[in-house]
Amino acid sequence: MKKDLHPSNYRFVVFKDMSNDYAFLTKSCVDTKESITWEDGNEYPLVKLEISHTSHPFYTGKMKLVDTAGRIDKFRSRYNKK
């Protein structure tokens, strides 16, 4: 194997899904400025996620429909006429 090919700063990091507060601990070399105290009492770097396997519609089977300012209703009323 080539020398110095992989990053040397692997450490435990907490990834947290902000939509449902699901968090998991794994090793990563991602840079972050935030930290969190984990269940074991230790402090780890924190990476905030928008979506994870616990909130993604493909894995949950539930679709989240976000209707801002009635866009869907406007679309339906516009194209129902034709």
Query: Residue ranges per domain, the chain?
Result: 11-80
Answer with the residue of higher pLDDT: 51 or 13: 13
Distance CA 30, CA 70 (A): 39
Distance CA 70, CA 8 (A): 50
Q: Per-residue pLDDT for 24 more than 60?
A: yes
Mean pLDDT of the chain: 81
- pLDDT tens digits for range 45-60: 999 988 777 776 655 5
Residue 68, by phi and psi: left (phi above 0), alpha (psi -120 to 50) or beta?
A: beta
Q: Per-residue pLDDT for 65 more than 60?
A: no
Q: What percent of the chain has pLDDT over 90?
A: 38
The continuous run of DSSP H or E covering 72 comes out as helix 71-80
C-beta separation of 49 from 34 below 8 A: no
